[in-house]
Amino acid sequence: MNFLKKMAITASAIAMLSVGAQAGEIKVGSAGGVTGPIAELVAAIVKGRQIATEHVNSNGGLLKGDTMKLVIADSACDPKAAVDAGNKLVNVEQVVGIIGPSCSGATNGMVSSVTIPAGVTVLSDSATAPSISELKDKDTVFRASASDAYQGKAIADMVWKAGKKKVAVTYSNDDYNAGIANVFVKEFKALGGEVTGNQAHEPNKASYRSELSTLAQGGPEALALFAYYGSSGITIVKNSLENGLFGKFYAADGMFDKSVIGQIGADNLKDNIWITQAASDTEDASYKNFAEAFKAAGGDPEAPYAAHGYDVAFLMALAIEKAGAADRTKISAALREVAGPEGEVVRPGEWAKAKKLIADGKKVNYQGAAGVNDFDANGDVTGLFSVNVVGDDGNWSRSMLK
Q: Does residue 305 contact residue 99 with C-beta atoms inside 8 Å?
A: no
Average pLDDT, the chain: 93
- Residue 1: pLDDT band (50, 70, 90) is very low
The mean pLDDT value for 313-333 works out to 98
Residues 79 and 185 reside in one and the same domain: no
Chain centroid, CA 79 distance in Å: 17
Q: What is the pLDDT of residues 63-118, one digit of tens each?
A: 999 999 999 999 999 999 999 999 999 999 999 999 999 999 999 999 999 999 99
**Residue 174 pLDDT > 90:** yes
Residues 351 and 275 reside in one and the same domain: no
Residues 101 and 163 reside in one and the same domain: no
Residues 291 and 376 reside in one and the same domain: yes
Residues 12 and 130 reside in one and the same domain: yes
Domain count for the chain, please give it: 2
Q: What is the pLDDT of residues 262-291, one digit of tens each?
A: 999 999 999 999 999 999 999 999 999 999
Long-range contacts of 201-206 (CB under 8 A, 24+ apart): 201/170, 201/171, 201/172, 201/173, 201/227, 201/232, 201/236, 202/172, 202/173, 202/232, 203/37, 203/172, 203/173, 203/174, 203/227, 203/228, 203/231, 203/232, 204/231, 204/232, 205/232, 205/235, 206/235
Which of 2-11, 52-61, 142-151, 379-388 has the highest mean predicted lDDT (pLDDT)?
A: 52-61
The CATH number assigned to the domain holding 198 equals 3.40.50.2300
Residues 7 and 130 reside in one and the same domain: yes
What pLDDT, on the 0 to 100 scale, is given for residue 10?
Answer: 42
The mean pLDDT value for 50-56 works out to 98
What pLDDT, on the 0 to 100 scale, is given for residue 42?
Answer: 96
Q: What is the pLDDT of residues 17-29, one digit of tens each?
A: 333 334 699 999 9
Return the percentage of the chain with pLDDT > 70, whole number.
94
Q: What is the pLDDT of residues 110-123, one digit of tens each?
A: 999 999 999 999 99
Residues 262 and 157 reside in one and the same domain: yes
Residues 286 and 239 reside in one and the same domain: no
- Tell me which residue range forms the domain holding 159: 149-279+385-400
Residues 111 and 9 reside in one and the same domain: yes
Residues 240 and 288 reside in one and the same domain: no
Measured CA distances, 402 to 156, 184, 383, 385 (Å): 13, 17, 12, 8
Residues 181 and 293 reside in one and the same domain: no
Residues 292 and 196 reside in one and the same domain: no
